[in-house]
Structure formats: structure tokens, C-alpha cells
């Protein structure tokens, strides 16, 4: 089996680039890109008659994989499709870092993937769920409960193209009528301790609009964004990274609680603001994330 780092789910999923498994040039370029994760897609971007060729491409790519910081994810076809069994065999052969299930509407679909992996001795391989159907949004709490109980689900990935198609919501740069559903999925993800990745932005040439959507996603609480083109990586990494001001504030919070005078205190003053001890853990996580980002940046420069 190719190299596979069994470290728990990564802290960084700022930029999650989707690459069609049928495109050899894109596959060859992906490992050198600055994105945090790559989704090698066997689903929508691969025509039915090209599925087997795409699986063969992935087997060749993963065979030559070396150690690296990118998370490699394979998106398979739906559990009820004619391609699912062959896709799962390709997953077993490749040994990715995670498997992404599309159009998840109920936990039974994730269970089918879990059963296939467990039967091959991959019971610890994380699963990710595309939240892109009306049933998926409605059943998000039950799906997350299943994932947490089995310690298998590591992330929700939003898919707005399919959700728009199902609901009839028209495209809108502000995503006005989609926000309630997006926030519902973010809330569920936070309640169950899993990552949540924002949907793709379809016009990869309009980087100004993409940057605004990244900013909106960050403000809504997303961990990162799914991308369709390498040109979007830099903006996603920037928007979903802590700012210098946020890092400085977190460091000040940690320092304030580390001061001997704060021993036993639940509230301290930081830069003229009252800060509770419950914010200390949040500050420590932000600093750890910033350190990881800096380490990744040093390796890619």
C-alpha cells in the first residue's frame, strides 16, 4: 500500500481543491500546489464511460505518493450508484487520507462506505459527507451523531450547486436565501466537533467575488472552502488564516492567564477588555493553527 500518514484529521482545511481524476495533467500538478487538501473526484467530473480510466489514474498517482502535508481525499460516487463498489475498491487500493461521499441524505450511505472499508481492514479511515441535498440538510444532526458515535466522520462539505437545483433557489452573490441552511450545517458541525467546508465558487476567473465569498464563509464559521481552480488557492488560504491582529490578541490572552497574578482567576483584562478563562482554550487553538500555517508556508516557499 502507498504511503499513508495515520495522523488524526489535520488542523488545516483552508483550501480544498477538487481535481477530476480523469485529468492526468491536473493530477500531476496537484501535489506541488499550496492547497491544504486535494479532492480527487470520481463523481460528477467523470463521465460514466471514463470511470475505470479515472480509477486507474488514481492508482498510479497514489502508488508514487511520498510523505507530504496535503490531505488527499477521494470522492466516490453515491452509495446507491452502479459505480460505488468499484470506487470503494479503488479507495482500498489507493489508501487516501479520507473518503468523501456525495449527496449524503442519511447516515446509511456513510455506513455502506464504512462497512466496505472495515471489511478491508481500514476501519479507521475517515469519512467526509457532501451536504448538498434537501434531505442532507434536514438530517444533518442524525448524520453527525452517527459520525461521532463511530468516530468516522471528520467533515461536512457543502455543495450548493446541487442544493440550488433541488430547491430552485437562484444564484445570488450574497447567497441570501441559502444562509439559513449554511448556518444550520455550521451549527451541527460545531455541536459534534467536525470540520465544515464551504461550497465552491463557480466562476474561478472572478477572484474579487471569490474573495468576498471567502470572507463571508470565514465570518459564518467555516474552516475553509472547496475550490475548483488553483487560482483560488491563495485567496482561500489568506481568508481562512488568522490575521496578525487575531494572533497578537490570542498571544496576549495566553500571556495574561499565564501571569502568576491570574492564578485562580476566571476573568482577566487584556488590552482593555475583560476576557474569560473559557477564551483561553480558543486562543491556544488559534496560536497552534497559526504555527501550523507558518510551518506549511515555510515548506512551500
Q: Which residues of the chain have pLDDT under 50?
A: 1-10
Note the pLDDT of residue 295.
86
Note the pLDDT of residue 145.
96
Give residue-wise pLDDT tens across range 198-222: 999 988 889 999 999 999 999 999 9
Q: Among residues 239, 256, 288, which one ends one of the domains? A: 239
104 close to 131: Cβ distance less than 8 angstroms: yes
227 close to 233: Cβ distance less than 8 angstroms: yes
CA distance 84 to 57: 17
Note the pLDDT of residue 179.
97
Are 289 and 206 within one domain? no
Are 261 and 232 within one domain? no
If DSSP states are collapsed to H, E and C, what string results for 5-54? CCCCCCCCCCEEEEEECCCHHHHHHHHHCCCCEEEEECCCCCCHHHHHHH
CB atoms within 10 A of CB 157: 29
C-alpha cell at 87: 470506487
Boundaries of domain holding 159:
15-239
CA distance 26 to 14: 20
Residue 8 in domain: no
Residue 6 in domain: no
Q: What is the mean pLDDT of the chain?
A: 92
C-alpha cell at 91: 479507495
Note the pLDDT of residue 2.
39
Residue 3 in domain: no
Note the pLDDT of residue 4.
37
Note the pLDDT of residue 297.
78
Distance of CA 159 to the CA centre of its chain: 12
Are 69 and 87 within one domain? yes
Q: Among residues 187, 210, 239, which one ends one of the domains? A: 239
Are 251 and 163 within one domain? no
Q: What CATH number did the domain enclosing 74 receive?
A: 3.20.20.60
Residue 1 in domain: no
Note the pLDDT of residue 300.
64
If DSSP states are collapsed to H, E and C, what string results for 219-238? HHCCCEEEECCHHHHHHHHH
Burial of 277 (0-12, 13-18, 19+ CB in 10 A): middle
Amino acid at each position: 500500500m502507498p504511503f499513508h500518514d495515520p495522523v488524526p484529521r489535520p488542523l488545516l482545511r483552508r483550501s480544498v481543491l477538487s481535481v477530476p481524476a480523469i485529468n492526468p495533467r491536473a493530477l500531476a500538478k496537484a501535489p506541488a500546489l499550496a492547497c491544504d487538501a486535494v479532492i480527487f473526484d470520481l463523481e460528477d467530473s467523470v463521465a460514466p464511460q471514463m470511470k475505470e480510466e479515472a480509477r486507474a489514474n488514481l492508482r498510479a498517482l497514489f502508488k508514487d505518493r511520498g510523505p507530504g502535508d496535503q490531505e488527499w481525499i477521494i470522492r466516490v460516487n453515491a452509495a446507491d450508484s452502479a459505480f460505488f463498489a468499484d470506487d470503494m475498491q479503488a479507495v482500498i487500493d489507493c489508501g487516501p487520507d479520507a473518503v468523501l461521499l456525495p449527496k449524503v441524505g442519511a447516515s446509511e450511505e456513510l455506513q455502506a462506505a464504512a462497512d466496505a472499508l472495515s471489511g478491508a481492514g481500514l476501519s479507521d479511515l475517515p469519512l467526509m459527507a457532501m451536504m448538498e441535498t434537501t434531505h442532507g440538510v434536514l438530517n444533518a444532526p442524525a448524520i453527525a451523531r452517527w459520525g461521532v458515535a463511530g468516530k468516522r466522520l471528520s467533515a461536512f462539505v457543502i455543495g450548493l450547486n446541487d442544493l440550488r437545483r433541488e430547491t430552485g433557489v437562484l444564484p445570488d452573490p450574497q447567497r441570501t436565501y441559502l444562509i439559513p441552511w449554511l448556518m444550520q450545517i455550521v451549527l451541527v458541525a460545531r455541536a459534534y466537533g467536525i470540520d465544515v467546508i464551504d461550497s465552491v465558487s463557480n466562476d474561478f476567473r472572478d477572484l474579487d467575488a471569490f474573495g468576498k465569498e471567502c470572507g463571508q464563509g470565514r465570518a459564518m464559521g467555516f474552516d475553509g472552502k472547496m475550490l475548483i481552480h488553483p487560482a483560488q488557492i491563495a485567496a482561500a488560504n489568506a481568508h481562512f488564516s488568522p490575521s496578525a491582529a487575531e494572533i497578537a490578541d490570542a498571544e496576549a490572552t495566553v500571556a495574561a492567564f499565564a501571569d502568576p497574578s491570574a492564578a485562580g482567576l476566571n476573568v482577566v483584562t487584556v488590552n482593555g477588555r475583560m476576557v474569560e478563562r473559557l477564551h483561553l482554550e480558543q486562543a491556544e487553538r488559534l496560536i497552534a493553527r497559526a504555527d501550523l500555517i507558518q510551518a506549511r508556508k515555510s515548506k512551500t516557499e
